[in-house]
Amino acid sequence: MKPIIEIKNISKKYNITHQRGGYIALRDVLMGIIKSPFSFLKTKARQVVGFEKKEEFWALKDISFNVNRGEVVGIIGANGAGKSTLLKILSQITPPTEGEIILRGRVGSLLEVGTGFHPELTGRENIFLNGAILGMKKREIAKKFDEIVEFAGIGKFLDTPVKYYSSGMYVRLAFSVAAHMEPDILIIDEVLAVGDAEFQKKCLGKMSEITKKEGRTILFVSHNLEAIRKMCSHCILLDKGKIAFKGNTEDTLAVYDKSDMKLGINKGGNRKNPSRRGSGTLSFTDIKILDSDDNERNIFNVNETVKFKMSYVVFEEMRGLHANVCLFSSKTRELLTDMRHEIKSGTLTKNETGTTIVEVKLTAIRPGQYSLYFWLGDEAATKQGTPVNYDIVDGMTKPLIIEAKNEEEKNSIGSFSLPSKII
């Protein structure tokens, strides 16, 4: 039997253009014309015509692998390794620059929160819309409708436009639609991190059911290595757009664990030599963990408030600024959050510095020790798979230790979500 997915030497190239001269305000244009019209226009013409720096960026390079029918294959790697780009190519959202893809079956994708949803339509209308996109007839969708609604748990919001849904509601409905519409190939990116712990568990159970009982194929991208271990028989490890390793799950995770690729594994809080990855366009300059009284400490009780104070510098002009704080359980290696939030809009100028505080209430979070990694990036960073200006750092702080005061707090199994407040 032929593989349900054949990937033959695919590569994806982006052409990035860097405009010299930066942003020019209208006021500056008018003043330049008034003071010295010929000189000003000559200067601007040189900037517009032929004075651009162009750069080739290969998000993927020479990727080849096969997936058999009924397999669950995990795709892991650091942020920027090419995971989301690969899934977008497989979902036929973007074409490869080179290579060939053969898909022998209907593909259902869950790549980003709200993918395939029309914000003005209700939950009910979007269910039928997504089913139609997958090539299903109206009566087929209607047959699955009640199961989808029940699984998503959005019954009372069914006739509400989805633009009013929370990110968690979006994900619940999107996953339920994708899982129940019976695609031959289900492609899932790291969106389940948005949902709560209970729903994540429910999703993993559904994924296991559709592969074992129904023989469907799943490609699963996740930073939750425990979920990868439970779900996947094989894994592919990506690093800088290339396959670093592929094989059975345990072997692949062992390679990943020993490499420098893994995010969020704190090596003892060495602030002098943190692990860092980025484009060089901007950089964290300092990160502190504070309590509600602005005292620096790293040990907190369940339900306390913690502040992450992040200072940064911008080396080149960029637009918009987003931040992310991720926690990895040192015991289970579970990723508790991977959500990016805007901390500044508009244009950031060269050599601009700033400080932001993300304040979080540790509600219903499991006691234990958590490694931290911090992410800072530009406006384009909200679109996964797009080349972005970013800085990622771990090892800049001590691990976050959460303690319980009573038995109820000890048994807490809730999830962590950012932010409660941005200051």
User: Could you tell me the mean pLDDT of each successive run of 10 residues in the chain, 423 residues long?
Assistant: 91 70 50 57 51 71 92 85 87 89 85 70 89 80 90 87 80 81 81 60 79 83 78 89 91 77 39 64 88 88 87 87 80 60 85 86 75 83 61 81 70 48 55
pLDDT for 50 equals 47
Residue 152, classed as helix, strand or coil, is helix
d(CA 268, CA 369): 12
pLDDT for 272 equals 44
Note the CATH number of domain 58-258. Answer: 3.40.50.300
Is residue 344 within 8 Å of residue 354, measured between CB atoms? yes
d(CA 11, CA 109): 20
The single-letter DSSP state of residue 240 is T
Phi, psi for residue 413 in degrees, rounded to 5: -130, 20
CA 111 to centroid of chain Cα atoms = 9
Residue 267, classed as helix, strand or coil, is coil
Residue ranges, CATH 3.40.50.300, the chain: 58-258
Helices 123-133, 138-152: crossing angle, 10 deg rounding: 130
d(CA 284, CA 142): 51
Paired strand residues for 286: 311
Give the DSSP per-residue string, 358-414: EEEE-TTB--EEEEEEEEEE-GGGGSTTS---EEEEESSSPPEEEE-SSHHHHT--B
Candidates 1.20.120.1200, 3.40.50.2000, 2.70.50.60, 2.40.30.30; correct CATH number of 275-422?
Answer: 2.70.50.60
Residue 138, classed as helix, strand or coil, is helix
The CA-based diameter of the chain, rounded to the nearest angstrom, is 77
pLDDT for 63 equals 93
pTM metric for this prediction: 0.55
Please report the sign of the dihedral spanned by the C-alpha atoms of residue 315, residue 319, residue 325, residue 326.
negative
Residue ranges, CATH 2.70.50.60, the chain: 275-422
pLDDT for 196 equals 58
pLDDT for 99 equals 93
